[in-house]
Amino acid sequence: MNGLIIKDLITLEKQKISTIAGLLFTTIAFLIFWQSTGALLLGAVVLPFLTIFTPFTFRASDEQWKWDTYAISLPVSKKQIVASRYLSCSIISIAYFLFSLALNIGVYFWFQDHSITLHLASAFIGLGVSLLFGFLILPTSFTKGLEVSVWVLVILAIIFIGVVVIIKKANFDIFSLSPTPSQITLLMGLSVATLIGIFIGSYLVSVAMYRKLHS
Amino acid sequence: MGNILEIENLSKKYPDFTLDSLSFSIPQGTIMGMIGENGAGKTTTINLILNEMRKDGGSIKIFGKDHLEYEKAVKERIGVVFDDFHFPDLFNANEMELFLKGIYATWQPKTYRDYLNRFGLPLDKQIKAFSKGMKVKLSFAVALSHQPQLLILDEATSGLDPVMRDEMLDILLEFIQDEKNGVLFSSHITDDLEKITDYITFIHKGKLLFSKTKDELLYHYGLIKCGAETFNQIEKADIIAYRKQDYEWQVLVADKEEARRKYRKCIIDSVTISEIMLLHVKGEKK
Amino acid sequence: MEIIISNKSSKPIYEQITLQIKAMIMNGLLETGDMLPSMRALAKSLHISVITAQRAYEDLQRDGFIETVTGRGSFVAIQNRNFILEEQQKKAEEHLQEAVEIGRANGISVEKLIELLTLFYLKED
């Protein structure tokens, strides 16, 4: 199964220059325009948005070289093929998260505008969003091909923007919130639990669909 | 000597195609040629062996083990070369190895390097820049570098020029120098099959027509060529298949020598694999 | 050692091999105890199937030209009268074949041919 992840990582490595350049450019631009708030935005919104393209990159590469046909000859189970894809995507999400974490901590010490809690929350929310999108997209990206998955992505993006707009309309000022530690713990607990639930559901659906495709 | 592959009553039903209780086996140390028209069921058979699709019935044993129960262990020992190329364009031969090393427990870096050298394949050039022939050679190198015992070729030599095809035949014959190994060679290029295969399995419309040693087909089967009058005298039991051409009748018989004794007025030729295939597919049965 | 195979010949490939190896043994090109290539190596060199090579070796062994020792390989067997006898018999067969063909082509009956053969054979005595 290591080989499957190595394959995905080599695939991504092929676009490392454009990825890193894009990442640096976006980061610098956000920091110049919004300073410390830029880091919060990057962590919670922009970086997760960048990671959700990962499943597409993998899928596009797979389709280009007819991976599914070749994979049947390899000593790996269908479950492992599906699981490895979840792992690869999670590794990328975590890599972006580590970058975001470092950035937010750095920005906190540099600007000291927002509390460290907010900066850390930005990074963690980003990780959560990134994983959430990954889990929602992966089942379709496995079985329905690239085109359908792009549509799923578009729908998800619309929902996401919708939520943001509603929050905005409600005149909700996130910076004025001062939740108690117990509220934060509860919120974190709930988020993690939801995420795990979605992961399990997503994985089971992916395995079932991938198996059905090859039956 | 046991069988490297044993297929018994293999069945698979599709809305528009049925593979109907197919049985054949490949003894160790031999090459099995699998022939049949496009859509006859060759690729379906290979896909069922590899469990790409679930079989509806029958059993498949590889190295004496059930192919589902021991799927992973069995696949460790199978090398497959597909008809069109199945590796990522942007990878190079080196990166292919990084990936496959993590897949096969028995991956042999030295074997892989030796094949690359022998085939003149660069390690660091993107596969995108490879010619069709180089890609097929890389497929062979990859398929042979994890000590496989069963090699499955799905139309693997079809796109190659005669010189390269010959080189690949060398590779196959080298592979079965080890008596524990075996090859399933699906191809419509009957020339290649005629040279090196030990057995021929003929699948037609999802059914097994025969699975015999190639020598029996080439040296025992015969093709009677005669006029209508003589054709009517040929015993029904002797006819495997026949067809009428513009100026002659062609009749496929199982025993050339016997036919020569029985029907002295006729011309009785030896047959080629492609003639046998053609008569079965295009001809009629009496 | 040279073995030349024709794919166009009406003679089966295993027969072409046995004939040529027999000829080499009869002509002394291969001597008693000489080792032959393994069945598989021969198949590989000639680009023929293993079963064809196996058939050739089996026939050679059956006719007493070679001996196969498991794990060691195949060797030219001790020559004795039987070989030569058989070889001569082959020659005779060829001539008889020719006679039969002439007979068939010209309507000479098989009885007549047998009669002639018996006559020729006994006249020597």
Q: Where are the domains of chain B?
A: 3-213, 221-282
Contacts of B74 in chain A (CB under 8 A): 75
Number of B/C CB contacts below 8 angstroms equals 51
> Are the C-beta atoms of B55 and B48 separated by less than 8 Å?
yes
Q: For B94, name the nearest residue in chain A, comparing CA atoms only.
A: A10
CB pairs under 8 A between A and B: 76
Show residues of chain B in contact with A73, CB under 8 Å.
50, 75, 78-80, 82, 152
Can you name the residues that pair with B152 across neighbouring β-strands? B80, B184
Question: pLDDT-based confidence at C125, cuts 50/70/90?
Answer: very low
Mean pLDDT of C98-107: 89
Using the Cβ of A3 and the Cβ atoms of chain B, whether some distance falls under 8 Å is answered with yes
**Amino acid, res. A174:** I
B19 three-state secondary structure: strand
Residue A214 touches chain B, beta carbons under 8 Å: yes
Does the beta-carbon distance from A69 to B53 stay under 8 Å? no
Determine contact: B211 vs chain C, CB below 8 A: no
| pLDDT, mean over chain C | 84
CATH topology for B3-213? Answer: Rossmann fold (3.40.50)
pLDDT for residue A112: 84
CB B285 within 8 A of CB B241: yes
CA neighbor of B209 nearest in space, from B42, B2, B96, B71: B42
Instruction: Give the total number of structural domains in chain A.
Output: 1
Amino acid at C125: D
Distance from CA of A83 to the nearest CA of B (A): 14
Q: Inform me whether the C-beta atom of residue A176 falls under 8 Å from chain B C-beta atoms.
A: no
- Backbone φ and ψ for C27, nearest 5 degrees, come out as -85, 0
User: What residues of B are in contact with residue C57 (Cβ under 8 Å)?
Assistant: none
Q: Which residue of B has its CA nearest to A67?
A: B86
Which residue from B74, B89, B99 is facing A3, i.e. has the nearest CB?
A: B99
Q: What stretches of chain C show up as alpha helix (H) in DSSP?
A: 13-26, 39-46, 50-62, 81-106, 110-123
DSSP H stretches of helix in A42-77:
47-51, 54-64, 67-71
pLDDT of residue C69: 85
**Of C7, C43, C51, Cβ closest to residue B173:** C43
pLDDT at position C78, please?
64
Neighbours of B54 (CB within 10 A): 11
pLDDT, block means (10 residues), chain B with 286 residues: 91 92 94 91 92 90 93 94 85 93 94 95 92 91 95 86 88 91 90 88 92 90 87 85 88 89 85 90 81
- B176 to C51: CB separation less than 8 angstroms, yes or no: no
How far apart are alpha carbons A14 and C123 in whole angstroms? Answer: 93
Closest chain B residue to A66, measured at CA:
B86
ipTM: 0.84
Structure tokens at C25: 């043994």
- In the prediction, which pLDDT does B18 show? 93
CB-CB contact of A59 with A149 (8 Å):
yes
Which residues in B have their CB inside 8 Å of a CB on A?
47, 50-54, 71-76, 78-80, 82, 84-91, 95, 98-105, 152
**C47–chain B Cβ distance below 8 A for any pair:** yes
How do residues C110-120 score in pLDDT, each as one tens digit? 898 999 888 88
**CA-closest candidate to residue B270, choices B221, B213, B225:** B221
- Beta strands in chain B, from DSSP E residues, in sequence order: 3-13, 18-27, 31-35, 57-62, 65-66, 78-81, 150-154, 182-186, 199-204, 207-213, 222-226, 239-244, 249-253, 267-270
Q: What is the pLDDT of residue A157?
A: 79
Q: Beta partners for B243?
A: B250
Q: What is the pLDDT of residue A113?
A: 82
Which residues lie closer than 8 Å to A91 by C-beta, 6 or more apart? A5, A9
> Burial level of A214, CB count in 10 A (0-12/13-18/19+)?
middle
Q: What is the mean pLDDT of chain A?
A: 86
Interface of C with B in 26-45 (CB under 8 A): 40-41, 43-44
Mean pLDDT of C43-72: 88
- Residue B44 backbone dihedrals phi, psi, to 5 degrees: -60, -45
Q: Which domain holds residue A82?
A: 2-213
Angle between helices A181-213 and A116-143 (to 10 degrees): 10
Q: How far is B47 from chain C (nearest CA, A)?
A: 26
pLDDT over 90, % of chain A: 30
Question: pLDDT tens, A146-167?
Answer: 677 778 778 877 887 888 788 7
Contact B179 C40 (CB under 8 A): yes
Helix (H, G, I), strand (E, B) or coil at B268: strand
CATH topology for C13-76 is Arc Repressor Mutant, subunit A (1.10.10)
Q: Hey, is the C-beta of B214 within 8 angstroms of any chain C C-beta? A: yes
- Could you list the beta-strand ranges (E) of chain A: none
Q: C48 CB near a chain B CB, below 8 Å?
A: yes
Q: How far is B198 from chain C (nearest CA, A)?
A: 5
Q: Select the more confidently predicted residue: B50 or A177.
A: B50
**Is A156 at the interface with chain B, CB within 8 A?**
no
Task: Answer whether B199's CB lies under 8 Å from B214's CB.
Answer: yes
Nearest residue on chain B to C14, judged by CA atoms? B215
Q: Name the CA radius of gyration of chain C, rounded.
A: 18
The answer to whether residues A209 and A143 touch, using CB atoms and an 8 Å cutoff, is yes
pLDDT at C79: 61
Residue B276 identity: I
What local confidence, expressed as pLDDT, does residue B152 receive? 96
Residue found under tokens 């496995």: A142
Per-residue pLDDT at B124: 92
Minimum-distance CB partner of A72 among B52, B91, B99: B52
Do residue B199 and residue C51 have CB atoms under 8 angstroms apart?
yes
Q: What is the pLDDT of residue A171?
A: 65
Q: What token pair was written down for A49?
A: 């948005």
Which of B32, B191, B219, B223 would best serve as a mutation to test chain C binding (most C beta carbons within 10 A)? B219
Region A191-210 average pLDDT = 91
| Distance separating alpha carbons of residues C85 and B226, to the nearest angstrom | 40
Tell me: the pLDDT tens digits for A76-106? 988 999 999 999 999 999 999 999 999 999 9
CA C93 to chain B, closest CA, distance in angstroms equals 17
- Buried-exposed string B238-265: b where 16+ CB fall within 10 A, e elsewhere: bbbbbeeeeebbbbbbbebeebeebbee
Q: Which of B75, B86, B103 has its CB closest to that of A69? A: B86
Give pLDDT, residue A143.
67
Distance CA B1, CA B85 (A): 34
pLDDT of residue A176: 65
Q: pLDDT digit string (tens) for C73-91?
A: 888 886 665 666 777 788 8
Identify the pLDDT of residue A86.
Answer: 94
User: Who's near B207: CB < 8 A, 6+ residues apart?
Assistant: B20, B22, B41
